[in-house]
Amino acid sequence: MNQVGQSVLLWRKSSYSDGMGGECVELAALPGRVLVRDSKDSEGPVFALTLPEARRLLRSICEG
């Protein structure tokens, strides 16, 4: 887990992660934001999305 200010982030890994090096992401929630990072690089970059942006991204992924 990482911290942002006084908040401890609870990162959740994709249920599609198989532990065998698959391409997976982790998500963490903040008020009004969703953080996204590469599960294989927990110290790497983190993308912060607003809730509408996160919804659009997920909708776009699901629609292919």
Predicted local confidence at residue 13, as pLDDT: 86
pLDDT, position 6? 47
CA dihedral (12, 18, 24, 27) in degrees, to 10, reads 0
pTM for this model (two decimals):
0.75
Number of domains into which the chain is organized: 1
- The domain in which residue 23 lies consists of 3-63
- pLDDT digits 0-9 by tens, 25-60: 899 999 999 999 988 888 899 999 999 999 999 899
Q: Go through 1-12 and write b for each residue having 16 or more CB atoms within 10 A of its CB, e for each that does not.
A: eeeeeeeebebe
Q: Is the dihedral of CA 11, 15, 21, 22 positive or negative?
A: negative
Decide: 27 and 34 in contact? Cβ < 8 Å: yes
Taking residues 5-32, what's their average pLDDT?
78
